Structure 1
Amino acid sequence: MMRVLFMGTPQFAVPSLELIHKNFNVVGVVTQPDKPAGRGKRLTPPPVKELAYRLNLNVYQPEKAGELFDILKGLELDCIVVVAYGKILPKSILDLPPYGVINLHASLLPRYRGAAPIQRALMAGEKVTGNTVMLVNERMDAGDILSQEEVIIGEEDNFYTLSERLSRQGADLLVRTLNLWFRGSLKPVPQKEEEATYAPPVQREEYKLCWKAEAESVRDRVRGLYPNVYTYFRGERLKLLKVSVVEGHGEPGEIIDDGDFIVACGYGAVQILELISPKGKRMKGEDFMRGYSPRKGELLK
């Protein structure tokens, strides 16, 4: 059975590790170091580490690439599989396994190369995305493609739901691809550089909603950056979880209805269907209207 090292960190990588563990000999798991999380800033292990411990797998959390190379060179690897690990691998590591380093990326490459392909696809209003299994080279997400599979983006999808579906379907595609690759049944296909687009990391300031945008753009930002998009109501922060595009006009950010929670955008309007109140309570827009009594003409900023 092929000796595989798995590299991954967030929840997105968990289904892949589960399925690879069932099909191959996983000789170790490399993941990012534990990080402070929550109000108490307690050191918290990444989801991949928690699963690896439950599967009784050896876990490595190197701080530097040099440490990683020293670990890997003694493992007699056939292949390294990377799923959302979070760091660029140097050539010294890429050259180690005879079957190469294989990555699962949550887009149809060469579109949306980079750290945030799911968020950026949703924010752009895409109707279709997918998964790509590729050979890793020294350039970001630019290696030859081994397989791809489309995934439809539903109207109700947000970052959470789409990530979950892509991670499950991607895990299945990854294992099917590895079986073909190990049997010598796949020919890598170079990416078309002229079609490449990029998905840079989301910056903190992008979570603050700009009401001057068109209504469709506001909706897609709420979906893509779920559950972190926010605005201010009477000086207090509201997190917007779900909005729909409706007819209406007014000053950007203006509440334009006495009954439903409808807010004007740069063009068109959105109805806020679900949110997190200033007190941290998840609630429907209609309940917020009853509880906080926002007035028609008030502005969200």
Structure 2
Amino acid sequence: MNTPLNIIFAGTPEFAALHLQALIDSEHNIVAVYSQPDRPAGRGKKLQASAVKQLALKHNIDVYQPGSLKTAESQTELAELNADIMIVVAYGLILPKLILETPKLGCLNVHGSLLPKWRGAAPIQRSLWAGDTETGVTIMKMDEGLDTGPMLLKQALTIEATDTSASLYEKLSVVGPRALLDTLSQLKSLLPTEQDNKLATHARKLSKEEARVDWCIPASQLERNIRAFNPWPMAFFSVQDTNIKIHKAEVVATPNEKLNSPPGEILQIGKDGILISTTENSLLLTQLQPPGKKPMSAADLLNGRAEWFKEGTILQ
């Protein structure tokens, strides 16, 4: 067995909490946890602790929540923990150079892509959005750049044609903790590999406006968007001044008699769904969610709102 490490763990969402749990269950010692300050959440906008903080408190681990790690106070506080290594998973704060150099063995990051592809905030979503067939996790030594540090270990994962960001997130939540523990067990023998910056792509943040369906985009891209933006921000379109979220859709060849239809035209409605033209093929909407309702089949929505989806109507 390798010598147990004294670890500072920094993370915020559930994805990070799963990595923290794996470390808690290991031979290593968690000396402290860093997480984002509590945020207002829910209808009452009450302050809510992050998933990582909740887990740490459950195991009686000291939690630190500085608004920044750039102050002398926060840097001194972290240095006094005398950690061997710092593990960072979806923390959400920038680590300045002094912090990166404080732990004896530096800082490691678990990133949800096969670097240097998809550096940045939304690697899981962008891999689906781009139509990638493979993703994974990369364990890297952190430097001052955005996901640019030398890589220690990669673990690949196939992207299935039905994957959404939610399902891919769950798969990576299993792969990531295992890869992290493997890295720690081999830390003395793993040789860091520099990233090829020429192959880098940027996983920019998602926005609600990007999730609005543009029927002038090919159906294949729209179908990927729908899966990439699930569970947030959810692809949607407007009909009768109402925003309808799309949970599932399929790419379908446009019927010959409808090949000259403008993008956004409702071509057919029926038990299989709502068929809408795009600039390349058509999109069959099969599962939708109107405001205040649970996701339902397109057929069920048509039963209650058929007047919204008359064939020949052109959606904006």
TM-score, length basis structure 1: 0.96
Preserved CA contact (<8 Å) 1:78 1:98:
yes
Q: State the match for 1:295 in structure 2.
A: 310
Aligned to 1:258: 269
Percent of aligned positions that are identical? 37
Q: How does 1:6-17 map to 2 (within 5 A)?
A: 6-17=9-20
Selected match of 1:112 from 113, 118, 122: 118
Pairing of 1:129-278 with structure 2 (within 5 A): 129-181=135-187, 184-227=188-231, 228-248=234-254, 249=259, 250-259=261-270, 260-278=273-291
1:71 is displaced (CA, Å) by: 2.2
Deviation per CA, 1:172-212: give whole Å up to 9, x if none. Answer: 1011101111xx11111111111111111113321211111
Q: Which residue number in structure 1 is paired with residue 80 of structure 2? A: 74
Structure 2, unmatched stretches of 5+, are none
**For 1:208 and 1:121, how far apart are their aligned partners in 2?**
19
Q: Which portions of structure 1, spanning 4 or more consecutive aligned residues, are displaced by more than 3 angstroms? A: none
Within 2, Cα distance between the matches of 1:124 and 1:98?
Answer: 39
- Tell me the residue number matched to 1:279: 292
Letter in 2 for 1:295: K
| Number of residue equivalences | 299
What is the alpha-carbon distance in structure 2 between the residues aligned to residue 252 and residue 68 of structure 1? Answer: 55
- SS of the aligned residue for 2:267 comes to coil
1:18 aligns with 2:24: no
SS at structure 1 position matched to 2:88: strand
Is 1:32 paired with 2:45? no
TM-score, normalised to structure 2, is 0.91
Q: Deviations over 1:3-28 (max 9, x none)?
A: 00101111111211110111110011
Q: Which runs of 5+ in 1 are unaligned?
A: none
Q: Is the 8 A contact 1:112 1:120 kept in 2?
A: yes
Deviation of residue 39 (structure 1)? Answer: 2.3
Q: Is 2:74 the partner of 1:48?
A: no
In 1, distance between residues paired with 2:178 and 2:84?
A: 20
76-85 or 32-41, which deviates more: 32-41
| 1:84 equivalent in alignment to 2:90 | yes
Rounded Cα–Cα distance in structure 2 between residues aligned with 1:234 and 1:68: 53
Please say if residues 4 and 28 of structure 1, whose CA atoms lie closer than 8 Å, have aligned partners that are also in contact: yes
Match of 1:137, SS? coil
Residues 34-56 of structure 1 show CA distances to partners (whole Å, capped at 9, x for unaligned) of 11122222212111112112222
Contact 2:287–2:297 (Cα < 8 Å) also in 1: yes
Distance apart, 1:278 and its partner CA: 2.7
Q: CA deviation at 1:107?
A: 0.5
Structure-1 separation of matches of 2:269 and 2:114 = 44
Mean CA deviation greater in 132-141 or 195-204:
195-204
